[in-house]
């Protein structure tokens, strides 16, 4: 009986590993899982500034940019390579999610998820914005495009082991947009994930368009980009493979990483059971690093969607109120041989059973990438 169960497990794993044709580094010769739990604190956010979510970096000088996802005191922060805060721009009630650095124009692009601020009120439209990389407290951001309301994705049929199927009907969508992550392609188009509408949007050449009316269209909408799970965010982190034949998409509520073929627009499951798959980023060797926000770790996936490395862990709350290690890691960015991660540390369920409720100061973590 045990051998039968073991064979079934192997078959299930083989079915999940559907990354054929991708450019992720294949690690089939390695049978050892790399685990490194060492985590350094790169920076502590200023007192009163909470819940860092989006992150990006200027690889030329090592500056790290961080946006916050809070109630009424949201900030865009800029740290130098030593973790010292050099600039802070107030965004008030406007929640900042994904960020992307544009080396061509030397600007930071921002997912301004205004619609997430007041659930009981009429939402303001969510937008994509940009701001000078060397911003100050008074630098004005520029609106690039408004995220259109397109409605919920079509019903999604989910197969069962006995051959039957269940149908998921998505009722949420069309009232609030949740732009969550950004990724440029080599042509200069900007792709945006919408976690609520289950959409990947495309902004055509934002560097050359006339803001705030840059052309934005629905590249693909699919029930697999939405979720009925927890945390309640569907399409999230984005990352292109080396040749941009595929766009990889984290679905946080479904604990999945998806693969979108850029030619056919077919979506397949690349990896399952990444607990709270959030932000994602490729390293130079082609491993896909995923922030598992419910597991408090960062994992690396190889060409087969197999976890081949795990970094970080949560070790409790320090006396100064900061997390020791990772706590709800949301977004990663790689600079050189280091990976920087925002610790969102937000309570989404009952505060009584979540260590995030005891955090009083928020952090950005830093870890060394393992050598291969």
The residue written with tokens 């560097």 in the block is 207
Task: Output the pTM of the full model.
Answer: 0.90
pLDDT band at 20; cut points 50, 70, 90? very low
pLDDT at residue 244 greater than cutoff 90: yes
Lowest-confidence range among 15-19, 256-260, 302-306? 15-19
Span 190-216, average pLDDT = 94
Q: Based on the number of CB atoms within 10 Å of its own CB, is 298 exposed (0-12), middle (13-18) or buried (19 or more)?
A: buried
pLDDT band at 120; cut points 50, 70, 90? low
- Domain 2-368, architecture per CATH: 6 Propeller (2.120)
CB atoms within 10 A of CB 122: 7
- The better pLDDT of the pair 16, 193 is held by 193
For 204-224, what is the HEC assignment? CCCCCCCCCCCCEEEEEECHH
Percent residues over pLDDT 70 in the chain: 88
Predicted local distance difference test score (pLDDT) of residue 267: 98
CB-based contact 289:283 (threshold 8 Å): yes
42-71 pLDDT per residue, tens: 999 999 999 999 999 999 999 999 999 998
What are the boundaries of each domain within the chain? 2-368
Predicted local distance difference test score (pLDDT) of residue 107: 98
φ, ψ (nearest 5 deg) of residue 28 = -65, -25
Q: How far is CA 291 from the centre of its chain?
A: 7
pLDDT at residue 7 greater than cutoff 50: no
For 87-122, what is the HEC assignment? EEEEEECCCEEEEEEECCCCEEEEEECHHHCCCCCC
69-90 pLDDT per residue, tens: 998 899 999 999 999 999 999 9
């Amino acid at each position: 009986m045990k051998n039968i169960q073991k064979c079934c497990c192997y078959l299930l794993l083989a079915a999940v590993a559907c990354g054929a044709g991708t450019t992720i580094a294949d690690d089939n010769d390695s049978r050892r899982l790399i685990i490194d739990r060492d985590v350094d604190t790169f920076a502590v956010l200023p007192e009163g500034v909470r819940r860092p979510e989006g992150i990006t970096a200027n690889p030329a000088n090592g500056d790290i940019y961080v946006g916050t996802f809070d109630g009424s005191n949201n900030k865009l922060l800029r740290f130098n390579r030593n973790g010292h805060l050099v600039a802070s721009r107030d965004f008030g009630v406007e929640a900042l999610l994904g960020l992307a650095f544009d080396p061509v124009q030397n600007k930071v692009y921002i997912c301004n998820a205004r619609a997430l601020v007041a659930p009981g009120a009429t939402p303001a439209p969510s937008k994509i914005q940009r701001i000078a990389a060397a911003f100050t407290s008074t630098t004005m951001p520029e609106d690039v495009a408004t995220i259109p309301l397109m409605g919920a994705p079509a019903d999604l049929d989910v197969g069962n082991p006995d051959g039957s199927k269940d149908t998921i009907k998505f009722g949420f969508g069309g009232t609030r947009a949740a732009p969550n992550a950004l990724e440029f392609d080599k042509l200069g188009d900007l792709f945006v994930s919408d976690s609520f509408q289950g959409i990947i949007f495309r902004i055509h050449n934002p560097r050359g368009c006339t803001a705030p009316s840059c052309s934005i269209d629905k590249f693909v909408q699919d029930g697999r980009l939405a979720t009925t799970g927890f945390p309640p965010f569907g399409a999230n982190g984005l990352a292109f493979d080396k040749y941009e034949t595929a766009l990889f998409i984290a679905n946080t509520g479904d604990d999945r990483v998806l693969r979108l073929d850029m030619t056919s627009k077919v979506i397949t499951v690349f990896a399952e059971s990444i607990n709270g798959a959030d932000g994602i980023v490729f390293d130079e060797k082609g491993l896909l690093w995923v922030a598992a926000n419910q597991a408090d770790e960062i994992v690396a996936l190889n060409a087969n969607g197999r976890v081949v490395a795990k970094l970080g862990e949560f070790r409790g709350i320090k006396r100064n109120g900061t997390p020791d290690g990772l706590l709800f890691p949301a977004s990663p960015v790689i600079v050189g041989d280091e990976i920087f991660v925002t610790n969102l540390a937000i309570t989404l369920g009952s505060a009584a059973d979540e260590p995030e409720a005891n955090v009083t100061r928020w952090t950005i973590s830093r870890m060394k990438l393992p050598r291969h």
